[in-house]
Amino acid sequence: MTITPLMPVYPRCGVRPVRGEHCHLIDEDGTRYLDFASGIAVNLLGHSHKGLIGAIQRQAETLMHVSNLYGSPQGEALAQKLVDTTFADTVFFTNSGAEAVECAIKAARAYHQHEGNEERYELITFKNAFHGRTMATISASNQEKMHKGFSPLLPGFRYVDFDDLEGAKAAIGPHTAGFLVEPVQGEGGIRPASQEFMTGLRQLADEHDLMLVLDEVQCGVSRTGTFYAYEQYGITPDIVASAKGLGGGFPMGACLATEKAARGMVFGTHGSTYGGNPLAMAASMAVMDAVANDEFLADVRAKGERLRTRMEQFIGNYPDLFESVRGMGLMLGLKMKIEPRPFMVHLRDHHQLLTVAAGDSTLRILPPLVIGDAEMDEFLEKLSAGAASFAAAEAA
């Protein structure tokens, strides 16, 4: 047998973390890394956060799982908090981002079918999007590398250029159910949608009775400096898929909807054995208690500005390597003039700095939201030393 016990679908690197301390990860061999990847925008509170650990410990001792056969005081409390914090009137809890997007897709279709419009099942989605790895969510993305080997795709998605409002408008037809879009593309390279695009999609959705479905799995939960990114565009979505940071490291997600958008999601239409279990609810409640308040959000915005300004000042030293800094809050992208992957590997292996490569030649900078000046200084030192040694190695 040559296959590994762990199904070999990931090209894993040599870093093998066994412990986390605040914004650092400690490897099997004791090496300490500065974690500006946060498990891909998940560990909002860093590692070893006392409040989050305590909440999980207390809940684990009390009650972990009962299924959705029973009433859920824990789920009601978290759903109420999400409803109070956002546009939503109602919430379905999932275990992951892809499942949250699945629920969002189902809700958008079910809305129209509930209204008697069976033919309106198609979502207009945007090129280089990432919505997850289930059959529906890979079908929602135009990225062929995710399709290969898995055909046939699920029908009902139509791809248009990201940030192309005219393209989105032209794609509307008798089958259109709505738009599914990331306000800030994550995997696609930290690309914030323009204001005109988001406002325009909202207007088109209103004119044609379409569902505006936002995938905020990566950009949501205070990452961009508002609880959800849509707030910064001054629009109200119909449905939002959320996950990643929402559990702060505990696997959970949520599909949020207005009362109107959830019309089709009635008894018996959807479900999940684990979704909304008390342990996940306790973890997420602890995360929300920490991050869903004005003081914390103002701090994220201030830190995001500071980090961005310092990065912008720095990249001028290496015009051959770096092009620009983009993003919102602490969801930052370093657009490079070369493929970002070798530089990401260099930072990781030679400077113990963890970042994430993304599409569109962009290196993702996704620190825990709890970074302080010390971590920011350490990041810039490592980035600066990394760029110098990388440039020197390139020149040699």
Ligand X SMILES: *Cc1c(COP(=O)(O)O)cnc(C)c1O
Report residue 28: phi and psi, to 5°.
-45, -40
Residue 313: CB minimum distance to ligand X, A: 29
Binding mask 80-109 for ligand X (x = CB under 6 A): ----------------xxx--x--------
Return the SS3 of 278: helix
- Nearest residue (CB) to ligand X, 98 versus 165: 98
Hey, what are 37's tokens? Answer: 């990847």
- Nearest residue (CB) to ligand X, 356 versus 371: 356
Site for ligand X (CB under 6 A): which residue of 43, 59, 176, 218? Answer: 218
Distance between CA 37 and CA 356 in Å, rounded? 6
Binding mask 107-146 for ligand X (x = CB under 6 A): -----------------------xxx--------------
- Nearest residue (CB) to ligand X, 147 versus 346: 147
Is residue 217 near ligand X by the rule CB under 6 A? yes
Is residue 182 near ligand X by the rule CB under 6 A? yes
- Nearest residue (CB) to ligand X, 46 versus 247: 247
- Nearest residue (CB) to ligand X, 291 versus 315: 291
First to last CA, the chain: 42
Binding mask 294-313 for ligand X (x = CB under 6 A): --------------------
- Nearest residue (CB) to ligand X, 135 versus 321: 135
Count other Cβ atoms within 10 Å, centred on residue 97: 30
Return the SS3 of 228: coil
- Nearest residue (CB) to ligand X, 176 versus 218: 218
Residue 237: CB minimum distance to ligand X, A: 14
Among all residues, whose Cβ is closest to ligand X? 97
Q: How many residues bind ligand X (CB under 6 A)?
A: 15
Return the SS3 of 197: helix
- Nearest residue (CB) to ligand X, 187 versus 238: 187
| E strand spans, the chain | 17-21, 24-27, 32-35, 90-94, 122-126, 157-160, 176-181, 184-185, 191-192, 211-215, 239-242, 253-257, 322-328, 331-336, 353-354, 356-358, 362-365
Residue 92: CB minimum distance to ligand X, A: 15
Identify which range of 215-223, 323-331, 343-351, 365-373 contacts ligand X by CB under 6 A: 215-223
Instruction: Write out 61-82 in H/E/C secondary structure.
Output: HHCCCCCCCCCCHHHHHHHHHH
Report residue 19: phi and psi, to 5°.
-155, 150
Return the SS3 of 182: coil
**248-285 residues labelled b (16+ CB within 10 A) or e (exposed):** bbbbbbbbbbbeebbbbbeeeebebebbbbbbbbbbbb
Residue 42: CB minimum distance to ligand X, A: 9
Binding site for ligand X (CB under 6 A): 96-98, 101, 130-132, 182, 186-187, 215, 217-218, 243-244
